[in-house]
Chains A and B, each alone.
Chain A
Amino acid sequence: MIEVFHLVPALLIGALAVYTTVARDTFAATVGFIAYGLMLTVAWVQLHGVDVALTESAIGGGLTGLLLVRASAKLRATEAAARAERPRASTRLAAAILAAAVSAGLAIAVLALPDPAPTLAPEVLANMGPTGVGNPITAVLMAFRATDTLLEAIVLLLALVGVWSLAPDRVWGGRPGPRYNADPDGILAFIARVLPPIGIIVGIYIFWVGADDPGGKFQGATIVAAMWLLVLMAGLTDAPPISRRLLRAGLVAGPVAFIAIGFAGVATAGAFLAYPDGWSKPLILVVEFALMPSLALTLGLIMAGAPERAEAASPREAAP
């Protein structure tokens, strides 16, 4: 009976993956991808990875989906030309055989996994006490493998630098994305006024409970960033010019604090990112509080995209 609850979402996820692959229209495929991301969340919950489920729905399905949908709307004009480039039947058949072989090989590996499975859960639980954190995943992310989290924050920052560097020279330092003009009395503007206070509280809550329950700074920061994007897209405010000093300071503040505490660990605890005895929880909190706003800002600006308008242009003039 329990198997039904595994098989039904599994079949739906598989069907949605096939749909995003074979759909003729790219826009339809990207919308299918968002549904796919949301259904994957169900799979993550069934695999008892609630923290991963939150990340998947917020970043994997939500932000990535939005990015792809927006790009597909912009690239709609290229669809007709692309259809003519569709490979011949022989190529498609060869690709299908290759894909099936890869899947079959992986499936054999899945069925041959060792039993009992190797696990680090006992080690994590045994060493979690001194960190003062109640959620084992947060303990891994912030204490045992804090380097991963530091590098992850820096990868996000590098992605933003990459996105910005794709701006044409004449708008360098300008405002990202178009200036959105929504009907100020429309439903979008209404939601953009009503939802953010709730969303920001939900985001901060998910960030805060991450210490002891599923949640964390990335998931929380994504929700806060989404609220900012909503306000931007409703035209209630404009994206800041990327040359603004304060903005750049805000972006690097989190990673810089993290690195500073990492180096302090060399002096006080004998290793990079090590926390001295009894200081784990306060230091983890300092890092998380410093990272969360930087992450929200970075995620929001990555979504806003490369600068498209010179800083000097007034919002009205820049409007399409």
Chain B
Amino acid sequence: MNAATVFGLLATALVGVGLYGFIVNPQPLRKILAFNVIGSGVFLLFGAIARRGAALGLGGDPVPQALLITGIVVAFSATALAVTVLLRLFDETGSTTLSSGVAPSASEPDPAKARE
């Protein structure tokens, strides 16, 4: 197995781990974090594909590598905006819950609401 295959397979695992975290972690900040893990998995997969395109003494295909730099910067912009929205939500409401007033699971009472 060469580097492209090892890190390509790692990338697929990272997408899965991030997706799991995105679904099961209730805190919005954890969702943003998990989304970044998914994103880095996608980037790494693209990087493995770029590595496979190595030719003429270049270590990888420069076009996907350049797109990756753009992608990482855009992912940062989106994360910064999401985190700021979240902090403003916390300042306004004192809470960051995503549950919609109805108890998140019908069987259990929501302790966060009960305390208010």
Interface residues of A (CB under 8 A from B): 3, 6-7, 10, 13-14, 17-18, 20-22, 26, 29-30, 33, 36-37, 40, 43-44, 46-49, 51-52, 55-56, 59-60, 63-64, 67-68, 71-72, 74-75, 78-79, 81-88, 91-92, 95-96, 98-100, 102-104, 106-107, 110-111, 113, 117-122, 124-125, 136-137, 139-141, 144-145, 148-149, 152, 155-156, 158-159, 162-163, 166, 168, 216, 218, 302-303, 305-306
Q: Give every chain A residue within 8 A of B44 (Cβ-Cβ).
A: 40, 43, 47
Q: Give every chain A residue within 8 A of B68 (Cβ-Cβ).
A: 49, 52, 55
Query: With A6-B7, A149-B70, A306-B84 as given contacts, are A122 and B99 in contact (CB-CB < 8 Å)?
Result: no
* Nearest residue, chain B, Cβ from A305: B84
Q: Are B7 and A163 in contact (CB under 8 A)?
A: no
Q: Are A216 and B69 in contact (CB under 8 A)?
A: yes
Q: Give every chain B residue within 8 A of A14 (Cβ-Cβ).
A: 10, 13-14, 17
- Interface size for B (C-beta < 8 A) is 89
Task: For the complex, give the distance between the alpha carbons of A124 and B95 in Å.
Answer: 51
Q: Are B70 and A87 in contact (CB under 8 A)?
A: no
Interface residues of B (CB under 8 A from A): 1-21, 23-27, 29-30, 32-34, 36-37, 40, 43-45, 47-56, 58-63, 65-70, 72-81, 83-88, 90-91, 95-99, 104-105, 108, 110-112, 115
Could you list 18 A-B pairs, sorted by A, with CB under 8 Å?
A: A17-B18, A33-B36, A49-B50, A49-B51, A51-B65, A51-B69, A68-B32, A75-B87, A78-B27, A78-B90, A81-B111, A85-B99, A86-B24, A100-B16, A110-B11, A111-B5, A124-B63, A136-B58
Summarize B's interface: helix, strand, loop or mixed.
helix
Q: Give every chain B residue within 8 A of A75 (Cβ-Cβ).
A: 27, 29, 86-87, 90, 96
Partner of B16, one of A33, A102, A305: A102
Partner of B6, one of A10, A63, A104: A10
Q: How far is the CB of A1 from chain B (nearest CB, A)?
A: 13
Partner of A107, one of B9, B49, B75, B91: B9
